[in-house]
Structure 1
């Protein structure tokens, strides 16, 4: 194995050997931190001694043999020629004939009797060629090395030295800086790290060999070093000579010397262990009980030294089952204080752990307050887990009720009452005081009355002035929804990003889940169908289903609507179990609306009508008949059009148009679209609706309506323009992630002229437009190739196209509006 940056030390020893040969006995001490390469240096020097013809006597000190008298001398004697007499006399006898080199490694572990004889040898060898070379730890030097004639110091390897070793061992020094950062230039740790990374030299990732080297060396070097390293690992930023001495039962002077040894070994930087892998290694050898005791002792030390509750609690939490370990009153005080600090600084998971540990050690009023604090902390991360504590915390009880059942009409919690408007309608009395509370209370009345300018102003006031918190997250979500309903989806998107960013920063899982669901609705409203589905799924996954309560309908409704748009005929979101209580809420109405359109896209028209009618009953009972939120009348009108009931559809569309709440441009576009599909000036009104959808940011509804416009234009005989419009619709749909669906639309069923494709022709045309050959089409439809050819002849004539490549546009023109992606949202 290569040895670098040690050449000058070897040459220095060789020089001392040469000088010694001239008749000058001397002692040379080689000092350095543990594992700094002193033993390897002696091995290299031994080769040079052999070349010089001098006699080499070697010995190595061992911590386990420190109490065995003359253990080191016996090792040295084994290299002497056989002769009678005492050790010192025999060495001096040889020295009168040739140079003698005595190399003693780790002299700090050599027994006292051997040290005495070596000192005696030095005193009697004046004028003889006797060279005594010893290695030791410079901070723990004994008397022999303290009075050495010469001293050499081996430092840690520099970055250049590390790079040289990497080139020799791995042939690649690209990651030299990283290797030096992990090991500090300690040769032993560096070789271990190299062993861990031979398959990928640039990784420099500490592995098994590195951890083993750390533990093995600390065990071998000095028992107190391992204890000090473990104490430093748990004290971390609170490490100091005083705290370290108290935790390890050492004097401050000894603690300082031991930390100096660790620093010289490259293990320690300042008062912190160099790398997390070293910390893991030194603590990894502890049993769970030993680890708990060490952390609790460290917690006591920090508490006595008036450390912050957060720092003390970190150690208590790391110890595990405190109730079985400690009964001291200060532990509860520290845990509760740290929990409140953690809640205030958005470290909810740590707060929960502190309070969970403290709760079994409390009683009476303290227990009630601890349970209340725990319930509040749990709500922010998993509402279902807080339910069992809701009876001791009225705030948590209110929040749980809001999401899971009907709140008490007498509640005095303004945030709860405001939030409930968006879940169950205006059922709770409100007593608002602050400007943002008044603005929030005015949102639904403003939408109902069509005062959209006031709605936008009030929503922005709420979003600017209302702080994001456990009592306000639903109110803020409602304000974002109000912006969407007032045709300001651009502002809604901006506020979603801001609120989600804050929730992420504060690590509030419950907030992220709800705000993510609202963000998915905004994306769907913008026509970003695939992105909306993915965002809704991510928000749904943040909480267990039981934690969502009735609000689970928000992400599910978005996922169902997105699946419908993407042509998925059996949405997985429909298989999710929803609470029974959701059916009477505005959330439930939004869910039923999405399900109704999913049924409509699958030709389950009667099931769709039932869902849309249920939507109407729910929003009317809730006092929140908002066509922008749940346009059940135009939804029901679309279903009636499937049966050719144009008069019923027109009546429903007119009823929606007469509502002040239908003032938003997006809502009006829905109404205009239904009038057009019912046969009222279809080309002009569909163009108007498509333009309105684009103006309000809804690309998907614009694509749907544009496709319907192409069909209306084709019905008037202008096939050239119809194809051009159909291509525009296909491009818009593709931008929304649903372009392929335009080739899967069912044919119109309300026309029966000579240009209408039969069902069989439609199936053949669809497969041909998708690129299938005649043989493949015949195989898929179980018909002959001749039949396929006959169908294609009729298809080309009816669609007015001349070649297969034109079928896509021709079909887009031919397909009717009633089946298009389940209709515009």
Structure 2
């Protein structure tokens, strides 16, 4: 170890030695904290004395030899430097003294001390004698007596006695110190750890000035100047390949342990207590030490640079201490620490951190603390800690406790991996029959299609114990997602406007959302459904227990014809799920966002969000709900004309249990649309009919959920059965609510195509109005395409051209390539050119904003009256705008208006 500190102290020792050589005996008492350099200082003194021709006798006291009579003295007089004849004499004296101690200890000590002192004084006449004793605090009493006897008699002898001891150590005894320090020829030297500049000097000597500039401040911070620790950091630095910052490793951890083991016997216990508790506040209680003792030893550890402010300077130090403890003892220590914190009312999270690594957790207070801590962690979206807190007690306690703890664990894990949560719940259900009778496990099992037995057991429990509030909410939820299973459960009928629980509770949210969605699915909802749903959305915080209620609320808006109202809520929830690091939540709301996009005709958005939904969690994690994101993707790919990609999506396996849930309905419909688009008409008909059979059997025959009759009607038209198509679409029209503009418009489009050619335009125009109000751009493109073709077949060329152009641009905006391909035969080459290529851009710049908006709507097939209604102006004003537009653009009528006119650019829909 390179000596870079205590130069002043070494100079003092050198001066003392010089005086000894001239016959002035001296005693040096060197004290300091552990690893402060006293051993190095004593070694340097011994080397200097040897080089000067002195007889150097050395000894190191050891706690293991504290009871050995004259142990330290024996080491001194048996040193190789003792002349051979004198060595035998010393050996005989030690042996004789040890033998006679039992009879008369005082006499034996006096006799041995006098004889040894006489021999050493005689030896000092031939050459200076230096006695070096390190770790004096471990020396046996007999040796201390002899040393004191000698030191009292060396003032005029050529003898230097250098003693090294640990500061604040009480094992030597105050009497010895009192006698020693009153000697006029004794000098006390107190050592400290390296100051900051000393660490800089040491690191510079080892690594160079540049490395010292980077590392020395951190080294001093981590070690407090403890020489052993600084050298350990240097070793770790070399082992790690020279990182640019301090990196405590194996050597540092070992050095910490070495310091503690070289300290007071209580030091390791107190250090372990500090490592467990995180600070020294309750360390004495945990270690079972007296307050005064603890203060002294902890003070020593502060002086030695092990602790700072009652804490380890680096986590590696605490980790080293804990690793050195036998695992069982470590667990018990943490358990006692947890109990101490619990009894003084500490935060549950602090207590839980102690408990999770301890043993014997089967006590009521332990489970309570861990559950409370887990709930706090869950509120902070820390799933990892929830699992760590609850895992140890998931198999403890009575049945009810195990169900509650495992359900909470599954709820937390579901955020990240629903399939992991399902495995946990399934194991619980297998080990504990009542698990399937609890609402929490049943909800998880429903998601993964393992619910038949669970629902049956749940129904029996209701029969035996009555309908609880949780049970009532679950029954309503099952009716919304698993209508076939719902028949096994009682669904209570409450008078309108009544609630089973106070507003604002989670159960109330679950109950209300499920009740509203169930009413919507059955077509039994009124005009106030949007208000009721938005009250839920406004008052419900996203959480494990509210994900399903919130999705129910969004679906109720969509199926009631208010998809535009669902969109901002869905995006808000999707953003929150992302912020809270919950991939499963994100996946659920991404799937809903994709469905909203499909319903609004936003095919690129549907593709983006549907793909994201399937990427966020694995296919097995989706369980039976995988049908929803797949349906959106299949529909988007189909309408975009990407039939190979749609076919690949259909090749993805889906759970058989999905076909017994509502998630089968959009999947069957999407598969039917793909089959219809690829001329597999009978396969399409089979899919649409399958969806219809399920919906009618389940009592949720709602066209806005899945318009299976319209799908069948289009298929029947393809095979020439117009009568059957008309029958089906008429039946659908009777089921569509007048308030659901999008569903009504889509139904009118299909219905119009079952009528004679001359009867179609009025129906298709009404469909256009309804669809525009409903906001489905893809359906608008389709109905405009049908209207344009109808005008074309009726030889209304000018009108046909305008409507087809409008359909083309709407379809392009949706990326509906399939519709665009159908329209191409009815469009001129000029119509297909963008404005930049036709030279329209400069001409359009001549128009005012009002003229542009009017002309854009006119070019896309709107009548003057329709334009006036949309722009809130009079028909006369429309005519004036068009007249000026024709003059500026040098065209004769609306059929000649340029292709560059777009309603979206004009700021209108």
TM-score relative to the length of structure 2? 0.63
Conserved 8 A contact 1:335-1:354: no
CA distance in 1, matches of 2:479, 2:837: 42
Aligned to 2:869: none
Alignment of 1:294-333 (within 5 A): 294-299=333-338, 314-320=353-359, 322=361, 331-333=363-365
Residues 201-251 of structure 1, C-alpha deviations (whole Å, 9 max, x = no match): 2253333333333345444555543333333333445852541343xxx43
Which SS does the other structure have where 1:461 is aligned? helix
Picking from 758, 767, 780, the partner of 1:672 is: 780
CA distance in 2, matches of 1:672, 1:655: 22
Conserved 8 A contact 2:777-2:810: yes
Conserved 8 A contact 2:439-2:474: no
Aligned to 1:117: 146
- Structure 1 stretch displaced more, 401-410 or 466-475: 401-410
Alignment of 1:534-549 (within 5 A): 535-537=612-614, 539-541=616-618, 545=620, 549=623
C-alpha spacing 1:332/1:446, structure 2 compared with 1 (3 Å): closer
Alignment of 1:44-443 (within 5 A): 44-50=44-50, 54-77=54-77, 78=79, 80-82=81-83, 84=86, 86-96=115-125, 99-141=128-170, 142-143=172-173, 147-148=180-181, 149-171=186-208, 172-173=211-212, 174-198=214-238, 199-202=241-244, 204-219=246-261, 221=263, 223-236=265-278, 239-246=281-288, 250-299=289-338, 314-320=353-359, 322=361, 331-340=363-372, 342-343=374-375, 346=378, 362=397, 367-380=398-411, 381=413, 382-386=421-425, 388=429, 389=432, 391=434, 394-396=438-440, 399-400=443-444, 402-403=446-447, 404=449, 405=451, 412-413=469-470, 415-416=473-474, 419-420=477-478, 423-424=481-482, 428=491, 431=494, 432-433=498-499, 441-442=515-516
CA distance in 1, matches of 2:205, 2:76: 34
CA distance in 2, matches of 1:13, 1:441: 92
Which SS does the other structure have where 2:152 is aligned? helix
Aligned to 1:772: none
Which SS does the other structure have where 1:319 is aligned? coil
C-alpha spacing 1:183/1:386, structure 2 compared with 1 (3 Å): farther
- Structure 1 stretch displaced more, 216-225 or 305-314: 305-314
Aligned to 1:466: 540
Residues 723-759 of structure 1, C-alpha deviations (whole Å, 9 max, x = no match): 77999xxxxxxxxxxxxxxxxxxxxxxxxxxxxxxxx
- Give the CA deviation at 1:76: 3.2
Which SS does the other structure have where 1:261 is aligned? helix
Aligned to 1:486: 563
Residues 391-424 of structure 1, C-alpha deviations (whole Å, 9 max, x = no match): 2563325534653447669775464356456535
CA distance in 1, matches of 2:315, 2:706: 55
Which SS does the other structure have where 1:126 is aligned? coil
- Structure 1 stretch displaced more, 300-309 or 27-36: 300-309
CA distance in 2, matches of 1:670, 1:599: 18
C-alpha spacing 1:415/1:41, structure 2 compared with 1 (3 Å): farther
- Structure 1 stretch displaced more, 157-166 or 123-132: 157-166
Conserved 8 A contact 2:570-2:589: no
C-alpha spacing 1:585/1:99, structure 2 compared with 1 (3 Å): same
Which SS does the other structure have where 1:472 is aligned? helix
Aligned to 1:33: 33
Conserved 8 A contact 1:302-1:312: yes
C-alpha spacing 1:692/1:90, structure 2 compared with 1 (3 Å): farther
- Give the CA deviation at 1:122: 1.8
Alignment of 1:601-620 (within 5 A): 607=683, 610-619=686-695
Aligned to 2:815: 704
CA distance in 2, matches of 1:178, 1:601: 70
Alignment of 1:453-532 (within 5 A): 457-481=531-555, 486-488=563-565, 489-499=567-577, 501=579, 504=581, 514=588, 518=592, 527=604, 532=609
- Give the CA deviation at 1:355: 6.8
CA distance in 1, matches of 2:715, 2:5: 85
Conserved 8 A contact 1:628-1:667: no
CA distance in 2, matches of 1:164, 1:654: 95
Which SS does the other structure have where 1:68 is aligned? coil
Residues 685-710 of structure 1, C-alpha deviations (whole Å, 9 max, x = no match): 676568779xxxxxxx8352378548
- Give the CA deviation at 1:655: 8.9
Higher relative contact order (CA 8 A, sep 6+): 1
CA distance in 1, matches of 2:707, 2:725: 13
Conserved 8 A contact 2:35-2:227: yes
Aligned to 2:900: none
- Structure 1 stretch displaced more, 712-721 or 353-362: 353-362
C-alpha spacing 1:369/1:76, structure 2 compared with 1 (3 Å): same
Conserved 8 A contact 1:687-1:709: no
CA distance in 2, matches of 1:178, 1:562: 59
Conserved 8 A contact 1:196-1:209: yes
Which SS does the other structure have where 2:604 is aligned? coil
Conserved 8 A contact 2:130-2:162: yes
- Give the CA deviation at 1:475: 0.6
- Give the CA deviation at 1:96: 4.7
CA RMSD, 1 decimal: 5.0
- Give the CA deviation at 1:595: 4.9
- Give the CA deviation at 1:138: 0.9
CA distance in 1, matches of 2:571, 2:225: 52
Aligned to 1:802: none
Alignment of 1:748-759 (within 5 A): none
Conserved 8 A contact 1:533-1:563: no
CA distance in 1, matches of 2:340, 2:396: 21
Which SS does the other structure have where 1:57 is aligned? strand
Residues 778-814 of structure 1, C-alpha deviations (whole Å, 9 max, x = no match): xxxxxxxxxxxxxxxxxxxxxxxxxxxxxxxxxxxxx
Which SS does the other structure have where 2:276 is aligned? helix
Larger radius of gyration: 2
Q: Structure 2 unaligned runs (5+)?
A: 90-114, 414-420, 743-770, 790-799, 839-909
Conserved 8 A contact 1:500-1:515: no
